[in-house]
């Protein structure tokens, strides 16, 4: 496998070697069960407690408000199903650009009396506050808005959304802050959210580990039931090595977030400038509020899949949207919600960077992109 | 921490160093997303495919019938909730000695029209076939019986149960074979089960990884929804390193199961003989069908928690039942279902062995046990 340039960090990110080092004692030695009362169990329970404190501190929560999960998708499913199913019936109000792990779970609950109402977004993917205000009603049992839209990097006005929801209702607000947390300090009290998803991999931690913050006192119906782990809110043997790694990645993020952000801003500026050299290339939703390091663009008339094939041959890895969207073979629901025509959506390419991305990777990608565009346009026209 | 002897393998088992070695490339290098279409994604997808084939071969299933999960508790919850919730309402028929991850999920579904009926067991914890036959009715939508009872090691007559369920009904049968699979060859076709849980840690694989076998064609409502992993039956980024480790542990189990079984049988025989030296000690459910390496016993009149405190001080780790039961502080529902009085249940101790347990560990434990019994009896009487 040749790998020259990787621009698919939102789909998969490497484990920080320092995090792996922190995990090793739990892969090699400590195997006690945190529920066991003997010393080996207490050792596991202590590592779990310390990790919980670190993850709580990362988002300004109390340790008891942290539920460890198997990642973003489980946290989102737990938030949606768990917070709806404590009611007899009701409605989820979700932004039209939420990830599928927010939108899909409600579909399954339709026959039990639950439904979803989508908050429309503007052409840049930002939630229309006036629409949100009109949509909230007495059937609304949960609102959910992700802080950063995965495909376009657009930042939602989450504080204004929280103010609006909290001002007039007692509806709990969930926020998927997985992507936001790698770039911005997250504080659940300042944000005034009731539930919040964070995830390990994007922070340089192991994959398949995450957490749901749940405000103290908020009732939730667990997804996984049985043994009393996570104060009965998520049963099952904890992924202790993974949780320890996740916690370490949050500590590293706190100390390095500003420098990572600066690095990403610089790389993003360079990427954007170089992309503008490509004739007819349009950057999707290019607002000042776009997160550095997540960039969606399109060259109208060119299918992104054709470009990705050229890229792949040259060892350049990007994506045509969320991995899910490309797998399903449907145009991205995010771009559609922003008013894109099918053809515009299917000509869209996604670049996601890491603070470790190199300028030379961007240059290499731009070279391949320029050549591919010329070749493909010759074939098309 | 002094550790002299460990008898709590059902609560926590060490990761086989050979398994960790197989996992390392996926902790250090490969971080692609199996849904991504580029080479790094394909590398992940290939490792996932190979792992799926290994796990399928381990239980005689087709690869498409394997759903990877975060472990036994998720597999059991998925089986129960997922197979019930494709119906409008209905009843789960579960043995009274099922793990809590089978019994609890139904409670949450009560307000949606679902319920559980418990199949009574005899004094040894074995399902009463005649009772099962009477309990199945047109409301039954799922039956679930674990092959080996975690607390007592008693093996259920799973073939006879499957015959009985399959003979007269089309009710799907789920079997938690997590413990069975470390000792017996498991073949889902021969067993004639529709769903089956297996788990990695007890095989020497990483914790928090497992699978649910789901017979081809059987509909299930996923617990985790969103992206299309696991053919849409379990969304979320796969724990690739964990899955690779799990698959490797199944291969090692196939080649070493017979020798491990022989070792466990020998250790179990020695443990049992030495336990019999302790005055008034009774082995719970000591049938020929008890699995070697799982042993529950009691000394009536002595609280097991008091004994465990003595053990802990001497660096000897055992448990008073399932970790869950001891955490909740209630007598084990398994022993209660077998007709134990509260006091008998709370005087019960559990020993679970590994093929790596040493004779010297057993000797050390017996020494401590003898002394503790004398001390505690002096205090009690």
| β-strand pairing of A348-352 with B140-144 | unpaired
* Residue B172, helix vs strand vs coil: coil
Task: Give the span between the Cα atoms of B248 and A100, in whole angstroms.
Answer: 32
Identify the closest residue of chain B to A305 by CA–CA distance: B37
Which of B6, B85, B305 is nearest residue A40 as measured by Cβ atoms?
B6
Is the pLDDT reported for residue A1 higher than 70? no
The pLDDT, as a whole number, for residue B329 is: 64
Task: Give the span between the Cα atoms of A61 and A186, in whole angstroms.
Answer: 10
Residues of A within 8 A of B322 (CB-CB) are 227
Please, are residues A95 and A118 in contact by the beta-carbon 8 Å criterion?
Answer: yes
- For B320, the enclosing helix (H) or strand (E) is none
Identify the closest residue of chain B to A100 by CA–CA distance: B226
How many degrees, rounded to 5, is the angle at CA A321 between CA A150 and CA B36?
110
Q: In the predicted model, what is the mean pLDDT of chain A?
A: 94
Give the tens place of pLDDT for each residue, B219-235.
Answer: 999 999 999 999 999 99
Contact A319/B70, CB-based, under 8 Å?
no
Per-residue pLDDT averaged across A43-71, rounded? Answer: 98
Task: Output the six-digit token pair for B146.
Answer: 């674990």
Alpha helices in chain B, H assignment, sequence order: 17-28, 39-58, 72-84, 100-108, 129-135, 158-168, 188-191, 240-275, 304-313, 323-328, 333-337, 342-345, 359-380
Strand runs (DSSP E) across chain A, as ranges? 5-6, 66-69, 90-95, 114-119, 140-144, 173-176, 195-199, 210-214, 281-283, 294-299, 316-317, 348-352
Contact A41/B108, CB-based, under 8 Å?
no
Please, are residues A333 and A325 in contact by the beta-carbon 8 Å criterion?
Answer: yes
Per-residue pLDDT averaged across A41-61, rounded? Answer: 97
Name the CATH code of domain B17-252 (choices 3.90.470.20, 3.40.640.10, 1.10.3720.10, 3.40.50.300).
3.40.640.10
In which residue are the tokens 């960077």 written? A353
Distance of CA A337 to the CA centre of its chain: 18
Contact A40/B3, CB-based, under 8 Å?
yes
| β-strand pairing of B5-6 with B316-317 | parallel
Which of A2, A224, A226 is nearest residue B99 as measured by Cβ atoms?
A226
In which residue are the tokens 């320890």 written? A244
Please, are residues A196 and A1 in contact by the beta-carbon 8 Å criterion?
Answer: no
Phi/psi for B219 (5° steps) reads -80, 145
How far CA B94 is from CA of A42, A320, B173, B353, in Å, comes to 33, 46, 10, 27
A116 vs chain B: nearest CA distance in angstroms? 15
Give the tens place of pLDDT for each residue, B116-136.
Answer: 999 999 999 999 999 999 999
How many degrees, rounded to 5, is the angle at CA A204 between CA A201 and CA A210?
35
Q: Which of B38-42, B80-84, B160-164 comes out lowest in average pLDDT?
A: B38-42
Length of chain A: 381
Phi/psi for B191 (5° steps) reads -70, -25
Is the pLDDT reported for residue A103 higher than 70? yes
Please, are residues B326 and A35 in contact by the beta-carbon 8 Å criterion?
Answer: yes
Report residue A30's pLDDT band, with 50, 70 and 90 as the boundaries.
confident
Task: Give the span between the Cα atoms of A54 and A247, in whole angstroms.
Answer: 6
Residues of A within 8 A of B208 (CB-CB) are 70, 236-239, 242
The pLDDT, as a whole number, for residue B258 is: 97
Task: Give the span between the Cα atoms of A35 and B295, in whole angstroms.
Answer: 20
The pLDDT, as a whole number, for residue B326 is: 54
Burial of B217 (0-12, 13-18, 19+ CB in 10 A): exposed
Residues of A within 8 A of B224 (CB-CB) are 70, 73-74, 77, 101, 223
A273 vs chain B: nearest CA distance in angstroms? 25
Q: Which of A72-76, A335-339, B207-211 comes out lowest in average pLDDT?
A: A335-339
Please, are residues A144 and A176 in contact by the beta-carbon 8 Å criterion?
Answer: yes
Contact A208/B74, CB-based, under 8 Å?
no
Contact A323/B35, CB-based, under 8 Å?
yes
The pLDDT, as a whole number, for residue A111 is: 86
Identify the closest residue of chain A to B238 by CA–CA distance: A208
Report residue A287's pLDDT band, with 50, 70 and 90 as the boundaries.
confident
Contact A236/B208, CB-based, under 8 Å?
yes
* Residue B210, helix vs strand vs coil: strand
- The CATH classification number of B5-13+257-380 equals 3.90.1150.10
DSSP letter at B212 equals E
User: How is chain B split into domains, by residue range?
Assistant: 5-13+257-380, 17-252
A vs B: CB pairs below 8 A: 269
Q: Which of A172, A153, A275 is CA-nearest to residue A215?
A: A172
User: Burial letters for B95-106: b for 16+ Cβ neighbours within 10 Å, e otherwise?
Assistant: bbbbbbbbbbbb
Task: Give the span between the Cα atoms of A271 and B114, in whole angstroms.
Answer: 55
A253 vs chain B: nearest CA distance in angstroms? 19
Is the pLDDT reported for residue B323 higher than 80? no
The CA dihedral of A87, A92, A98, A101, to the nearest 10 degrees, is: 30
Report residue A301's pLDDT band, with 50, 70 and 90 as the boundaries.
confident
Domains B5-13+257-380 and B17-252 are alike in CATH topology: no
Contact B242/A208, CB-based, under 8 Å?
yes
Residues of B within 8 A of A314 (CB-CB) are none
Give the tens place of pLDDT for each residue, A119-176.
Answer: 999 999 999 999 999 999 999 999 999 999 999 999 999 999 999 999 888 999 999 9
Task: Give the span between the Cα atoms of B332 and B325, in whole angstroms.
Answer: 5
Is the pLDDT reported for residue B324 higher than 60? no
Neighbouring residues of B99: CB distance < 8 A, sequence distance ≥ 6:
A226, B72, B76, B146, B150, B176, B322
Active site residues of A: 324
Report residue A329's pLDDT band, with 50, 70 and 90 as the boundaries.
low
Is the pLDDT reported for residue B266 higher than 80? yes
Contact A235/B77, CB-based, under 8 Å?
yes
Residue A156: which region, alpha, beta or left (left: phi > 0; alpha: psi -120 to 50)?
beta
A100 vs chain B: nearest CA distance in angstroms? 4
Residues of A within 8 A of B41 (CB-CB) are 8, 11-12, 317, 323
Is the pLDDT reported for residue B17 higher than 80? yes
Contact B207/A31, CB-based, under 8 Å?
yes
Task: Output the six-digit token pair for A154.
Answer: 């657009």
Is the pLDDT reported for residue B327 higher than 60? no
Residues of B within 8 A of A324 (CB-CB) are 35, 226-228
Residues of B within 8 A of A326 (CB-CB) are 35-37
The pLDDT, as a whole number, for residue A205 is: 98
The pLDDT, as a whole number, for residue B132 is: 95
The pLDDT, as a whole number, for residue A381 is: 55
Query: Is the interface score ipTM higher than 0.90?
Result: yes
Identify the closest residue of chain A to B27 by CA–CA distance: A15
Per-residue pLDDT averaged across B275-283, rounded? Answer: 95
The pLDDT, as a whole number, for residue B365 is: 97
A183 vs chain B: nearest CA distance in angstroms? 21
Contact B28/A20, CB-based, under 8 Å?
yes
- For B214, the enclosing helix (H) or strand (E) is strand B210-214
Contact B327/A227, CB-based, under 8 Å?
yes
**% pLDDT > 90, chain A:** 86
Q: Which of B219, B236, B249 to mutate to test the interface with A (most CBs of A within 10 A)?
A: B236
Contact A108/B85, CB-based, under 8 Å?
yes
Which of B6, B44, B226 is nearest residue A101 as measured by Cβ atoms?
B226
Contact A1/B32, CB-based, under 8 Å?
no
Give the tens place of pLDDT for each residue, A193-215.
Answer: 999 999 999 999 999 999 999 99
Please, are residues A305 and A282 in contact by the beta-carbon 8 Å criterion?
Answer: no
- State the catalytic residue, choosing from B324, B326, B364, B370: B324
Identify the closest residue of chain A to B206 by CA–CA distance: A27
Distance of CA A34 to the CA centre of its chain: 29
Which of B225, B228, B327 is nearest residue A105 as measured by Cβ atoms?
B225
Q: Which of B1, B5, B6, B11 to mutate to test the interface with A (most CBs of A within 10 A)?
A: B11
Contact B226/A318, CB-based, under 8 Å?
no
How far CA B63 is from CA of B105, B186, B307, in Å, comes to 27, 15, 46
Which of A15, A33, A72 is nearest residue B12 as measured by Cβ atoms?
A33
DSSP letter at B15 equals P
Q: Which of A10, A16, A35, A38 to mutate to test the interface with B (most CBs of B within 10 A)?
A: A38
Is the pLDDT reported for residue B1 higher than 80? no
The pLDDT, as a whole number, for residue A289 is: 87
Strand order in the sheet with B114-119: B66-69, B210-214, B195-199, B173-176, B140-144, B90-95, B114-119
A167 vs chain B: nearest CA distance in angstroms? 31
Task: Output the six-digit token pair for B63.
Answer: 């690869």
């Amino acid at each position: 496998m040749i790998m020259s340039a990787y621009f698919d960090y939102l789909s998969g990110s490497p484990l920080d070697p320092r995090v792996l080092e922190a995990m090793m004692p739990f892969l090699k030695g400590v195997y006690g069960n945190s529920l066991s009362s003997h010393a080996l169990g207490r050792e596991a329970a202590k590592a779990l407690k310390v990790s919980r404190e670190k993850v709580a501190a990362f988002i300004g929560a109390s340790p008891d408000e942290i539920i460890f999960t198997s990642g973003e998708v489980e946290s989102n499913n737990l938030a949606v199903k768990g917070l709806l199913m404590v009611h007899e019936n009701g409605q989820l109000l979700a932004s039209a650009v939420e990830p599928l792990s927010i939108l899909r779970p409600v579909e399954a609950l339709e026959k039990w009396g639950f439904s979803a109402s989508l908050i429309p977004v503007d052409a840049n993917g930002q939630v229309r506050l006036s629409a949100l205000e009109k949509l909230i009603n007495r059937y609304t049992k949960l609102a959910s808005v992700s802080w950063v839209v995965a495909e376009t990097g657009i930042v939602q006005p989450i504080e204004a959304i929280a103010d609006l929801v909290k001002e007039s209702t007692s509806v709990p607000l969930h926020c998927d802050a997985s992507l936001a947390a790698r770039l911005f300090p997250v504080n659940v009290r300042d944000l005034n959210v009731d539930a919040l998803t964070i995830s390990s991999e994007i922070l340089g931690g192991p994959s398949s580990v995450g957490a749901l913050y749940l405000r103290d006192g908020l009732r939730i119906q667990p997804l996984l039931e049985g043994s009393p782990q996570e104060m009965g809110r998520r049963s099952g043997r904890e992924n202790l090595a993974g949780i320890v790694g996740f916690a370490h990645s949050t500590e590293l993020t706190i100390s390095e977030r500003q420098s990572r952000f600066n690095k990403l801003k610089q790389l993003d500026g360079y990427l954007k400038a170089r992309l503008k050299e490509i004739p007819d290339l349009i950057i999707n939703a290019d607002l000042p509020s776009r997160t550095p390091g997540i960039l969606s663009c399109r060259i109208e008339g060119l299918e992104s899949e054709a470009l990705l094939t050229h890229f792949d041959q040259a060892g350049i890895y990007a994506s045509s949207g969320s991995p899910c969207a490309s797998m399903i073979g449907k145009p991205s629901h995010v771009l559609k919600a922003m008013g894109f025509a099918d053809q515009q959506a299917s000509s869209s390419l996604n670049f996601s960077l890491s603070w470790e991305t190199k300028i030379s990777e961007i240059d290499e990608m731009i070279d391949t992109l320029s050549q591919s565009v010329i070749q493909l346009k010759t074939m098309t026209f």
